[in-house]
Chain A
């Protein structure tokens, strides 16, 4: 047993981090926010003012050196792999397999296209297609696709590391749905096609996706609390009651995308785990941001981080983060549904409470639109509503106790 990251995994994580910092640094985040907000890039909001500039540094994304870092994308996809995927024209069985992606609910592979009908507040398109294609070229969506199918051929642990990085920088878009569609929906793997999917009573990015999986009939737009996640609500339907799959003697294995699907590891488990990975990244970022601020902001003649009340907020953030990290990484290895449920509960908690505590440490500045803290909190709230959140995982884990596998 050696739970630590391998050198390759570290390199991959660094590669994704460099890629995302170059392609989606703080300025890009704020620009996307301005587009979503419909305000256009006003100097103040984009980070002109003194106070904002200082916070930008705190955010640690740094922004600078975008081009150079973008080039460092190689470790993610080995470039060639992604190119190969494009050349091979990816999968054959688009329609039928897409049904499986949508968890059996009968896919409507309908391109959404068209204008902004139903979009809530905000002006132009928010999703940056160029960024999306860059992610595709770097292999972000094809990470688990076998090399033979033009993918990167990596496993779920690596995918979890990549999604953690996405969560750190609040990368917008239906990342998980597109990743899961790689290999079944043509163009998803390369980032040419944006895929979203109905998830419980909600669907993210409905108007901007090219392909929508699942039944989204009667979708009604919400004014989304997270400005960077457009949301539609779906009418209540008779949904299947999810129970933990029966246990056999053999260990669970994550299915390779595009391959035969194992009934015991349905997509909703993958959605839950990758959501947990994003939450983890967000929790890591808010913890770092809070600590950085606590070190530098002075009151009563010393850094606020010297006050024990502030120290203990930060210590608890780290304790939640590290416990969640152990759970998320382990679930990516074991593929055990109860491990996934545990990972999800702890990661949701680490992200939501981490963002709140980070806000508290920032004082009045934490309550402003200018700060990024609210974006982390709002995104974390949004993610908790994806498949496998809250009650669902708690009930599954309660059942698991009776099953005696705990």
Chain B
């Protein structure tokens, strides 16, 4: 139980802090949340700066272009960048946290050379085409068809809830290549160029008013067979190898941010008099306990990953379950502090409250996380 830093870790953090202090003032102003091309440019620009400074793909293996940093260094990186107010991973999310690691672990040498450097350098954006109208929690029910035709796959079907589809260069696409095989057995993983003929992207408006995700219609889209990662019909395994990454460290920066927001909420309550309400005050105290514990749980999970060569363990599901709920509680409490002002979309916390509603749904709903905890961690018999 050692929560201290080694000399190397201290040095790493000191260098990072120095660099952040120098680079952050040089960033352009944040773009409007509704201006997607500007958001893309901003997020890629930040990634490029990380690359030039040697912080891109910090925890990726060296032979994938990464820095081979330890999980602790990666955790420090996420903590310090958030504390310094650096930009969020944004449009680089899928490239850095899912498609990238998948290609790094399952792709051929040529595939790694083709796709990984542009992700690290901040040149290409990826999106994730997994969910379909009839395949959400039950992802293996996906029906988008791919049939082999010469050197290509010809893909038809539709994807939905595809984040960043509007500005993506590539889509990590799950397709059905063998309709007769058992559900999980007939799926293949393809990298689809988003400018291929036959792709229609229709943005969907979220309840927060913005267009964070889209429907993607695929009509006889030709994808080179060379873009297949892993064997044909082995796509389910290829996907599962890295799905846990999404739940492992994806939320580290957010926990740090939530702790800052919670302090701001308390100060706002003190300013506007709500602090005198003991029930509300104690609710904020309890949230402090929750986020402190979530931070410790993160450190715990990262330490465990250290022992497994960086692969996040099942602790990610427990974390995701608690965190998504805690985040919603936080912004509900903020709304109580704000009172009638919480109905004003001009208040940052009002938008945050709206977007927090997606946390118990995206990347596996809370019910699905409980299923995973019950069946895979606790070993209960498979439910129906």
- A residues sitting closer than 8 Å to B (CB atoms) are 1-6, 9, 157, 291, 294-295, 302-303, 305-308, 310-312, 314-316, 318-319, 322-327, 329-330, 332-334, 338-339, 341-343, 345-346, 391, 393-402, 404, 406
CB-CB under 8 A from B5, the residues of chain A are 1
Contact B299 A398 (CB under 8 A): no
Is B370's beta carbon under 8 Å from chain A? yes
Give the distance in Å from the alpha carbon of A306 to the alpha carbon of B381 in the complex.
Answer: 5
* A3 CB contact (under 8 Å) in B1, B291, B321: B1
Give the distance in Å from the alpha carbon of A338 to the alpha carbon of B377 in the complex.
Answer: 30
Contact A395 B3 (CB under 8 A): no
Residue on B nearest A327 in the bound complex, by CB: B293
B50-73 vs A, CB cutoff 8 Å, 1 = contact: the mask equals 000000000000000000000010
With A311-B370, A398-B266: A339-B292 Cβ-Cβ less than 8 Å:
yes
Is B288's beta carbon under 8 Å from chain A? yes
Contact A346 B290 (CB under 8 A): yes
| Interface of chain B residues 289 through 308 with chain A (CB within 8 A) | 289-294, 296-297, 299-300, 302-304, 306-307
B159-191 vs A, CB cutoff 8 Å, 1 = contact: the mask equals 000000000000000000000000000000000
Give the distance in Å from the alpha carbon of A329 to the alpha carbon of B302 in the complex.
Answer: 15
Give the distance in Å from the alpha carbon of A322 to the alpha carbon of B316 in the complex.
Answer: 11
Is B378's beta carbon under 8 Å from chain A? yes
Output the least CB separation between B293 and chain A (Å).
4
Contact B297 A318 (CB under 8 A): no
- Inter-chain pairs besides A306-B381, A333-B1, 8 sampled, C-beta below 8 Å: A1-B299, A291-B378, A315-B369, A395-B282, A397-B288, A401-B267, A406-B262, A406-B288
Is B384's beta carbon under 8 Å from chain A? yes
Residue on A nearest B381 in the bound complex, by CB: A306
Contact B1 A5 (CB under 8 A): yes
Give the distance in Å from the alpha carbon of A308 to the alpha carbon of B75 in the complex.
Answer: 34
CB-CB under 8 A from A327, the residues of chain B are 289, 292-293, 296-297
Is B34's beta carbon under 8 Å from chain A? no
* B1 CB contact (under 8 Å) in A307, A329, A339: A329
Is B147's beta carbon under 8 Å from chain A? no
Contact B285 A395 (CB under 8 A): yes
Output the least CB separation between A195 and chain B (Å).
28
Contact B9 A1 (CB under 8 A): yes
Is B362's beta carbon under 8 Å from chain A? no
With A295-B381, A305-B381: A322-B315 Cβ-Cβ less than 8 Å:
yes
* B266 CB contact (under 8 Å) in A4, A325, A402: A402
Contact B384 A306 (CB under 8 A): yes
Is B373's beta carbon under 8 Å from chain A? yes
Is B383's beta carbon under 8 Å from chain A? yes
| Interface of chain B residues 345 through 382 with chain A (CB within 8 A) | 367, 369-371, 373-375, 377-382
Output the least CB separation between B71 and chain A (Å).
9
Contact A306 B382 (CB under 8 A): yes
Name B's interface SS: helix
Residue contacts A-B, CB under 8 angstroms, 28 given: A2-B72, A295-B381, A302-B381, A303-B380, A306-B382, A306-B384, A314-B373, A314-B374, A314-B378, A315-B371, A315-B374, A319-B321, A319-B322, A323-B293, A323-B318, A327-B289, A327-B292, A327-B296, A343-B293, A394-B286, A395-B282, A395-B285, A397-B288, A398-B284, A398-B285, A401-B285, A402-B267, A402-B270
With A295-B381, A324-B293: A1-B303 Cβ-Cβ less than 8 Å:
yes
Contact A308 B303 (CB under 8 A): no
Contact B285 A3 (CB under 8 A): no
Is B121's beta carbon under 8 Å from chain A? no
Output the least CB separation between A357 and chain B (Å).
13
Give the distance in Å from the alpha carbon of A185 to the alpha carbon of B149 in the complex.
Answer: 85
With A306-B380, A322-B315: A406-B2 Cβ-Cβ less than 8 Å:
no
Q: What size tier do the contact residues of chain B reach?
A: 35 or more
Give the distance in Å from the alpha carbon of A325 to the alpha carbon of B303 in the complex.
Answer: 14
Contact A330 B296 (CB under 8 A): yes
Name A's interface SS: helix
* A396 CB contact (under 8 Å) in B266, B285, B299, B307: B285
CB-CB under 8 A from A341, the residues of chain B are 285, 289
With A294-B380, A342-B288: A323-B299 Cβ-Cβ less than 8 Å:
no
Output the least CB separation between B315 and chain A (Å).
7
Contact B383 A330 (CB under 8 A): no
Contact B266 A315 (CB under 8 A): no
Give the distance in Å from the alpha carbon of A343 to the alpha carbon of B297 in the complex.
Answer: 12
Is B39's beta carbon under 8 Å from chain A? no
| Interface of chain B residues 209 through 245 with chain A (CB within 8 A) | none
Contact B3 A342 (CB under 8 A): no
Is B17's beta carbon under 8 Å from chain A? no
In the A-B complex, the 4 residue pairs with the closest CB atoms? A311-B374, A401-B266, A398-B285, A397-B285
Output the least CB separation between A108 and chain B (Å).
34
CB-CB under 8 A from A394, the residues of chain B are 281-282, 285-286, 289
Give the distance in Å from the alpha carbon of A298 to the alpha carbon of B284 in the complex.
Answer: 42
Give the distance in Å from the alpha carbon of A84 to the alpha carbon of B262 in the complex.
Answer: 50
Give the distance in Å from the alpha carbon of A314 to the alpha carbon of B291 in the complex.
Answer: 22
CB-CB under 8 A from A9, the residues of chain B are 1
Give the distance in Å from the alpha carbon of A157 to the alpha carbon of B296 in the complex.
Answer: 15
Contact B382 A3 (CB under 8 A): no
Give the distance in Å from the alpha carbon of A4 to the alpha carbon of B302 in the complex.
Answer: 10
Give the distance in Å from the alpha carbon of A189 to the alpha carbon of B367 in the complex.
Answer: 49
Residue on A nearest B375 in the bound complex, by CB: A311
Contact A345 B286 (CB under 8 A): yes
CB-CB under 8 A from A342, the residues of chain B are 288-290, 292-293
Give the distance in Å from the alpha carbon of A305 to the alpha carbon of B383 in the complex.
Answer: 8
CB-CB under 8 A from B371, the residues of chain A are 308, 311-312, 315
Is B202's beta carbon under 8 Å from chain A? no
Give the distance in Å from the alpha carbon of A314 to the alpha carbon of B377 in the complex.
Answer: 11
Contact A401 B284 (CB under 8 A): yes
With A311-B370, A327-B292: A334-B3 Cβ-Cβ less than 8 Å:
yes
* A346 CB contact (under 8 Å) in B266, B293, B307, B373: B293
CB-CB under 8 A from B383, the residues of chain A are 306-308, 311
Residue on B nearest A157 in the bound complex, by CB: B1
CB-CB under 8 A from B293, the residues of chain A are 323-324, 326-327, 342-343, 346
CB-CB under 8 A from B378, the residues of chain A are 291, 311, 314-315, 318
Residue on A nearest B5 in the bound complex, by CB: A1
Output the least CB separation between A296 and chain B (Å).
10
* B321 CB contact (under 8 Å) in A6, A315, A343: A315
Residue on B nearest A156 in the bound complex, by CB: B1
Give the distance in Å from the alpha carbon of A311 to the alpha carbon of B374 in the complex.
Answer: 5
Contact A2 B284 (CB under 8 A): no
